[in-house]
Amino acid sequence: MKRIGVMLLGVMLVFQGVAWAESNPQESTGAKIGYGVGSVVGSAVYFPFKASFCILGGISSGFALLFAGPNTANRVASTTCRGTWAITPDVVRGDESVHFVGDAPAPASQARN
């Protein structure tokens, strides 16, 4: 478990470096560090909840497939597993919002038109 946490933190720090390179050049170094730390800590808290929600959605979509059909199962799985997975500095800054629940895909009949 400890190894998974360290690997997750390492991946978040790599993505943090990418986000840092794209940040506003007029921000102070302290502000950039604060937003970066806030996004890493926020992601460390947020990610387990999002992953649990997605796993439960996947299990629920299996039951939905049995009882309601593939379209409903797809909507359940898509809604629970789409959305925001990591807290970025833009979210901490207030420039972007967090979407815990993703958008449901369009029904297959509308997607073909």
Is the separation of the CB atoms in 40 and 13 below 8 Å? Answer: yes
Q: What is the pLDDT of residue 85?
A: 93
Please write the tens of the pLDDT for every residue from 29-83.
Answer: 888 899 999 999 999 999 999 999 999 999 999 999 999 999 999 999 999 999 9
Rg (CA), the chain: 18
For the whole model, what pTM was predicted? Answer: 0.68
Please write the tens of the pLDDT for every residue from 87-109.
Answer: 999 999 988 899 998 887 776 66
- Residue with tokens 């993505």, as numbered in its chain: 15
How many domains are contained in the chain? 1
**Residue 113 domain flag:** no
**Residue 70 domain flag:** yes
Is the separation of the CB atoms in 27 and 89 below 8 Å? Answer: no
Q: Residue 32: helix, strand or coil by DSSP?
A: helix
**In the predicted model, is pLDDT for residue 111 greater than 60?**
no
Q: Domain containing 81: what range?
A: 2-108
Q: What is the pLDDT of residue 103?
A: 83
